[in-house]
A and B are shown apart, each in its own frame.
Chain A
């Protein structure tokens, strides 16, 4: 027994000893955009300030779940990037810290509005418009004319050719649902979704998956954020981005200071850096083509032409509240998803 217990204790000691110290002058970033941009941003910040940065990349939903689980003893200092809804929800639940940036007035109106909406617990970083992508090779093989509107997607020739995420699991798809309801009204919107349902081949789990599938030709059309579609195209896939003619919704990628952070001063430095023109200008070099929130930063040339993108006046307060979301998601699941195809 001696030996077992001693070995056991020794191994336990070894495990704990192998964990190294946490650096003092550092900041821990929970990063909600893609890996490349996360790394690029963190490197730029360390270069500019000399502050050591520890970054963990996860989807916005995962970070939100993590913040909730860690709320009694937060591990992260700042949550940078990721779609706005979970940021707003975190603000509502008091998981993030209120902060008025001196640089707020340099931001675009939609970014400032995002801050106001959350009582300054979050702020807009970038804007990504919703849309869809189609696979040009598959389209040519079927000799079809390119789609241009939401209405095109419910035509019978698209039967089994449209892919979209399940709004119950994906924030992207929830934005789509809310967009259609705002664009057409609730009854018309649901009538549209029912017709769309007949053409959908798969409700994926993750929001970016339909764009990937369209790029590979696994589906003809994938509904996703336009910058995701552009990114797939940039990787050499024959996919073309469409900004629907009726108008479309959008997400506001956001940033929040985590309440109870261990390194609040460094986190604020990161916050200011992330809002600066210098930091936002590097996004396109990491394959991210959203519209930046700093008004002085030029819109990346790969980004969808803003004159052709018709943005609706998206009501984040209403469609970000959990009551409206729960009701609409329940209605969608009961009335649309359960329909036979």
Chain B
């Protein structure tokens, strides 16, 4: 850091924060924070008072801070780093060693005697850990790491620490069960036997048998869905950004609708239409004699439902990318007499390639991890995600098998990353530079425009019908069988009644509805912020371990929700970090599961912005935080919108990850819907979905209004053809 005195002052402040955390904040967290304040007793004492309650080891946390004080006063960064690391290590060690039932390793009691038990960590511990991390980053900056940039170092350490705590460690708990037998003993051969199982890797469908293994099925489906969503998303994005579509609003809404729908419901609507007893099938059978079949169940059904669900994500990613392409380049190509097609192929296409690769990657991974659609449309087609779920909760109860299947799924995801890296390569795709940048993109070649419209229009029609079914289905008695309009389903779920105490919400769905929106709203800014910060770190900073850092952040996205849910219970049900049964664990689950979308959107946007902008800002002596805030953030606004919208929506519509984490107090909308659909109450499931969808549309419109659209100072698009 250039300013000599600033860093020590910062260090003193964080040191003070650490002391406050030890001396004032309650070290332990007692179930229910507010409850604890009124009657928690001694567990509420701060760390420095804990020796009087028999928890003397906690007060030792002060020692590293004292050492740090000396280190700052004497300007010894190496000592400071050691002290900060020591503080964190001691905290982790005592937390793991002494659990809520005493020593974690009984052998230690012989050495130190029985020290009793301790509850989970609370506010004081959180504050202390953050202070230590910050002191560590200051020390490293003083040693000259990353050009002495405290902000970057602090951000990296914070993100890495949270990701390790909330993604890596829980996953290790589950994956560890892959190499254990039924009794919990280490048994690597069990792992190999399960890994080689025919139900995973069988190739019978190629050789003439009945069905292939679920690994091949998943892979094949993901490639098809990834490809289709990318093509469709690109068509949507081209029509939206490069033509004068007659109803741009429709395009935006249509593109968004499927994202804001619980996946389960799309499958349901497809069955109502194309199932053997669906009305489209009935119409075809009655009028054209086309026999009713069960063609929907299996690959066709899953693929249609997934493409319906994931195309909008590709659309949002690619639209952002297309808007970011500097039209001056395309204009230059035209000036040089390149035809429209030639310009599209040789200028625009190479520029949007990273976006296309990202869109494919997201579609591919989403398809691999999707759970709801294969569950109800799968037929005899088995995929990894549902296999994992039923390995855990099914009649076989084989958590080891679930872990093995998860590992296979993770390997596929990793492979997708590698492929994307190879394809996008090291080329340069920056087009938003500091230089003058105006111009008009050329219109699309006529053939391409026709093809795009030809794809987009029928798809809009299909989407419209699906959504009409979902929205209207809840307002008739029994859709398809008895189409008398009724409000009874709606009133069951969202009734408002008047009693002696005035108006109250009597519907059975209100609780879960309000909880869902509240938790999703809390998770939204954290997810987007953390995601974009991580993207910026990955795109703009080079630091040792960057590759593994990136992979770590993508892990939670690739792992099926069921595994995440189980892993969170395993990891956070007991001290030192005890979160199950709270709303916090749901928020954390949302944040770390959806953060990768923010990262991908941010990376795609940042890849297009020339580093010279950052450099100019840094040369003008703005620090990296100021540069990020004043230069980068305004340019990547579309990515911010994508990240916020997506994190909110995914939080509201998540099913498989949260099904193990919900409690009576924190019941969620999707769990309620699945529970109703499960017992055949489609009217109630559909009416709830409809209300959820309309609410989400309102929220999205609000976000757009507040954050706004991207403005890069270009002329308005005028299509001249």
Residues of chain A having any CB pair with chain B under 8 Å = 1-5, 7-9, 11-22, 28-29, 34-36, 39, 53-59, 61-62, 64-66, 68-70, 72-73, 75, 85-86, 89, 138, 160, 166-171, 173-174, 201-203, 205-206, 208-209, 212, 215-219, 231-232, 235-237, 287, 322, 325-326, 329, 333, 337-341
Contact = CB atoms under 8 A, between A and B. Distances in A.
Contacts of A75: 573, 580-581, 663
A223 to B, nearest CB: 15
Contacts of A22: 31-32, 35, 581
Nearest to B664: A54
A87 to B, nearest CB: 13
Contacts of A70: 569, 573, 580
13 contacts: A2-B10, A21-B31, A28-B663, A36-B679, A64-B397, A65-B566, A73-B574, A73-B578, A168-B394, A202-B379, A205-B390, A237-B680, A338-B204
Given A19-B584, A235-B478, A236-B482, A202 B210 contact: no
B151 interface: yes
Given A64-B393, A168-B396, A340-B208, 6 more contacts: A18-B583, A22-B31, A56-B663, A73-B574, A216-B275, A218-B275
A246 to B, nearest CB: 23
A28 to B, nearest CB: 7
Nearest to A89: B397
Contacts of A39: 508
B625 A65 contact: no
B486 interface: no
A197 B518 CA distance: 48
A140 B681 CA distance: 25
Contacts of A73: 100, 573-574, 578
B392 A65 contact: yes
B484 to A, nearest CB: 11
A121 to B, nearest CB: 17
Interface in B111-145: 123, 126-127, 130, 134, 137
Interface of B: 10, 13, 29, 31-36, 100-101, 123, 126-127, 130, 134, 137, 150-151, 154-155, 158, 182, 199, 204, 208-211, 271, 275-277, 294, 297, 375-376, 378-380, 386, 389-390, 392-397, 399, 477-478, 480-482, 508, 518, 522, 525-526, 529, 533, 566, 569-570, 573-574, 578, 580-584, 587-588, 625, 659-660, 662-665, 667, 672, 675-676, 678-681
Of B134, B480, B529, B569, the most chain A CB neighbours within 10 A belong to B569
Contact of B375 (A167, A174, A205, A216): A205
A218 B127 CA distance: 57
A294 B38 CA distance: 43
A38 to B, nearest CB: 9
B35 A62 contact: no
Contact of B380 (A54, A168, A203): A203
B504 to A, nearest CB: 16
A110 B13 CA distance: 70
7 tightest A-B contacts by CB? A21-B35, A21-B32, A54-B664, A217-B277, A169-B390, A169-B394, A61-B393
Contact of A15 (B376, B574, B583): B583
Contacts of B665: 20, 54
Given A19-B583, A69-B573, A62 B660 contact: yes
B155 A216 contact: no
A16 B28 CA distance: 13
A206 B678 contact: yes
A169 to B, nearest CB: 4
Contacts of B525: 11
A105 to B, nearest CB: 32
Given A15-B583, A216-B271, A4 B32 contact: no
Contacts of B393: 59, 61-62, 64-65
Nearest to B530: A8
B522 A14 contact: yes
Given A1-B10, A4-B155, A19-B32, A61 B394 contact: yes
Given A21-B32, A169-B395, A203-B380, A8 B664 contact: no
A234 to B, nearest CB: 9
B429 to A, nearest CB: 28
Contacts of B664: 28-29, 53-56
A89 to B, nearest CB: 7
B584 A69 contact: no
Contact of B209 (A4, A169, A201, A338): A338
Given A202-B297, A236-B478, A340 B209 contact: yes
A327 to B, nearest CB: 12
Given A1-B150, A15-B584, A65 B660 contact: yes
A35 B126 CA distance: 38
Of B396, B522, B569, B676, the most chain A CB neighbours within 10 A belong to B396
B522 A61 contact: no
A281 to B, nearest CB: 21
B622 to A, nearest CB: 14
A126 to B, nearest CB: 16
Nearest to A7: B529
Contacts of A205: 375, 378, 386, 389-390, 394
Nearest to B663: A56
Nearest to B152: A1
B34 A173 contact: no
Nearest to A66: B660
Nearest to B131: A5
Nearest to A39: B508
A131 B458 CA distance: 44
B208 to A, nearest CB: 8
A169 B396 contact: yes
B561 to A, nearest CB: 13
Contacts of B482: 236
A34 B663 CA distance: 16
B675 A35 contact: yes
Nearest to A201: B294
Contacts of A65: 392-393, 397, 399, 566, 660
Contact of B210 (A29, A36, A341): A341
Given A1-B10, A9-B126, A329 B396 contact: yes
Nearest to B376: A209
Contacts of A208: 678-679
A168 B13 CA distance: 59
A215 B275 CA distance: 13
Given A15-B522, A169-B390, A21 B209 contact: no
A75 B580 CA distance: 8
Contacts of B126: 9, 12
Nearest to A4: B155
Given A75-B581, A170-B394, A173-B395, A19 B380 contact: no
Contact of A333 (B33, B199, B297, B522): B199
Contact of B679 (A167, A231, A339): A231
A35 B676 contact: yes
Contacts of A29: 664
A11 B397 contact: no
B155 A235 contact: no
A275 B275 CA distance: 42
A4 B481 contact: no
A340 B208 CA distance: 9
A287 B574 CA distance: 38
Given A13-B123, A236-B482, A215 B680 contact: yes
A21 B664 CA distance: 13
